[in-house]
Amino acid sequence: METRHKELNVVRPLVDADALQQLEEIRQEAMEASALDSEIDPVPDQAYDDARSLLKMLSHYNVPMPEIGWAEDGSLGFEWRPENGIATMGVYGDTHVIYGAFFHDKRQVKGTCALSDTAMLRGFLKSNWHYLNIEDAMTKRG
């Protein structure tokens, strides 16, 4: 006799809709700014693709959604600002992530890795959650 387990079909968005909307608004703002000022580098389309991939990874590991912004050097940045420091990630459209965490007690962590290196990115976030005073929801997904 065959035993079947019924699976729950829980529909969960891959990426927070507000974050995707914010990313589209940033795209428009950055395009307008670079069209008006030749010293502002346009954000490449690949950077938006990388940003969506990063947002998907953050959502998968239950990481709180960051503030998202663009910079004049053509990058997209992700930022968390808890009480005792700041954590950032940036993408330029080259399939790499630049990350850093800076704390009031002078502790710093920074580096770069491939966007596909989810173990490294997850490790960076998980190892700094304690210092950032952010709820460690990532343990729910292992």
Residue with tokens 């005073």: 133
Q: How far apart are CA 56 and CA 72, in angstroms?
A: 25
pLDDT value for 131: 61
Q: Which helix (H) or strand (E) holds 134?
A: none
Q: Return the pLDDT at 54.
A: 93
Pick among 3.40.91, 3.90.1150, 3.30.230, 1.20.120: CATH of 17-135:
3.90.1150
pLDDT for 7: 42
Which helix (DSSP H) or strand (DSSP E) does residue 98 occupy? strand 96-103
The predicted model scores a pTM of 0.79
The per-residue pLDDT for 134 is 54
Give per-residue pLDDT as tens, 101-138. 988 877 788 999 999 998 998 888 877 766 655 554 44
Q: Report the chain (142 residues): mean pLDDT per 10 consecutive residues.
A: 41 68 95 96 96 90 87 95 86 96 84 94 79 50 44
Task: Please give the single-letter amino acid code of residue 68.
Answer: I
CA distance 94 to 115: 9
* Domains in the chain: boundaries: 17-135
User: Which phi and psi angles does 12 have, rounded to 5°?
Assistant: -130, 130
